[in-house]
Chain A
Amino acid sequence: DIQMTQSPSSLSASVGDRVTITCRASQGISNYLAWFQQKPGKVPKVLIYAASTLQSGVPSRFNGSGSGTDFTLTISSLQPEDVATYYCQKYNSAPWTFGQGTKVEIK
């Protein structure tokens, strides 16, 4: 099975900072990669799908890029409401594995 490895596992940044989270697949998955945001105590929601397509209603400060095995989620200007855990997930074929998550906090 393809493994999904996220880094870092956690980060602390200041409001307004640019934040980058990476996700690496152990084999190529084309662009079948989604990013989810889970705020504390809340249900996960999709931010980005097809590696770079922003879900409707998601702020434009979120950006996804990559293809094949290496993917990136960037928050261009971190906001207090972005405190959450972020997960990548492959969905090209079963199993639809999630990364282990990246916890984002405000410094």
Chain B
Amino acid sequence: EVQLVESGGGLVQPGESLRLSCTASGFTFSSFSMTWVRQAPGKGLEWISYISPSGSPKYYADSVKGRFAISRDNAKNSLYLHMDSLRADDTAVYYCARGRPSDPWGQGTLVTVSS
């Protein structure tokens, strides 16, 4: 069974950093591109980043460019999202998803940015 499990979310103060992880199982992780998508409370879906199977190229939404960094470790079947300079409007559930288009998705991890 294909499974994606996000972790690393939590409550942080504005300006702080956080790293999210997504652990994959049930498929050959190194063969698939991966994406991060977020959803602010009560809002729609926002695509934020993509990484190819090899790790390059990488793409970002303008809203996170320069602050967030996507990476992967194919040996560990893991995807990461390093988030710097967090702002209140980064508060959201963050999902990792496999492939192009994105399917399946993990259950998500909640990031709350608040003082």
User: What residues make up the interface of A, taking CB atoms closer than 8 Å to B?
Assistant: 1, 34, 36, 38, 43-46, 49, 55, 85, 87, 89, 91, 94-101
A98 touches B46 (CB 8 A): yes
Contacts of A100 in B (CB 8 A): 44
Q: Mark B48-64, 1 if CB is under 8 A from A, else 0.
A: 00100000000111100
Top 4 closest A-B pairs, CB basis?
Answer: A94-B59, A34-B101, A46-B103, A96-B47
| Cα A95 to Cα B60 with chains together (Å) | 7
User: What residues make up the interface of B, taking CB atoms closer than 8 Å to A?
Assistant: 35, 37, 44-47, 50, 59-62, 95, 100-108
A-side interface mostly: loop
Instruction: Knowing that A46-B101, A98-B44 touch, tell me 17 more A-B residue pairs with CB under 8 angstroms.
Output: A1-B62, A34-B101, A43-B106, A45-B103, A45-B105, A49-B101, A49-B103, A87-B44, A89-B102, A91-B101, A91-B102, A94-B50, A94-B60, A96-B35, A96-B47, A100-B44, A101-B44
